[in-house]
């Protein structure tokens, strides 16, 4: 199994959409879509974030690439209605497109596991994320092999 990173620091869902066709290689079986954090930080309308993610998912599905969608839970400082709408868009997309949802990419990444900005994970935080994602990705890979 070959795993490639296609993330770009500071990327929004709009940026991900603009580059999905060339960033995700043709031999990809499964793509973890973990976008939206920068949309959240920039106050992008959740409807725009949802539309961009939906377009990414649709493009990947057309290429017969399975999608795992990673959601995000907004920090408490974000307005309540915005946070609820933003959080719900991931579950709604996963339900609509029958995707595996990893509900909170930063689950378990508390303050001691973040960089000085208080947002991004440090090396130990990245390990927590990898540990949480590993069984989800392993299960998806096993499922994709049985369908080949």
- Mean of per-residue pLDDT scores for the chain: 91
| DSSP state letters, the chain | --------TT--HHHHHHHHHHHS-TT-SEEEE---HHHHHHT--HHHHHHHHHHHHHHHHHTT-EEEEE--PPPTTS-HHHHHHHHHHHHHHHHHHT-EEES-TTTT--GGGB-TTSSSB-HHHHHHHHHHHHHHHHHHHHHHHHH-
Class of domain 13-147: alpha beta
Q: pLDDT tier at 20 (50, 70, 90 boundaries)?
A: very high
Q: pLDDT tier at 146 (50, 70, 90 boundaries)?
A: very low
Q: Where are the domains of the chain?
A: 13-147
């Amino acid at each position: 199994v070959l795993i490639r990173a296609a993330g770009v620091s500071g990327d929004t869902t709009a940026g991900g959409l603009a580059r999905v066709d060339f960033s995700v290689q043709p031999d990809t079986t499964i793509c973890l879509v973990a976008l939206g954090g920068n949309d959240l930080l920039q106050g992008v309308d959740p409807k725009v974030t949802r539309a961009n993610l939906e377009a990414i998912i649709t493009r990947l599905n057309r290429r017969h690439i399975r999608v795992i969608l990673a959601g995000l839970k907004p920090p408490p400082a974000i307005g309540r209605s915005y946070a609820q709408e933003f959080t719900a868009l991931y579950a709604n997309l996963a339900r609509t497109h029958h995707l595996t949802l990893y509900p909170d990419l930063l689950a378990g990444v508390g303050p001691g596991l973040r960089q000085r900005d208080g947002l991004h994970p440090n090396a130990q935080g990245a390990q927590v994320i990898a540990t949480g994602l590993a069984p989800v990705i392993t299960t998806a890979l096993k499922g994709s092999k049985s369908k080949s």
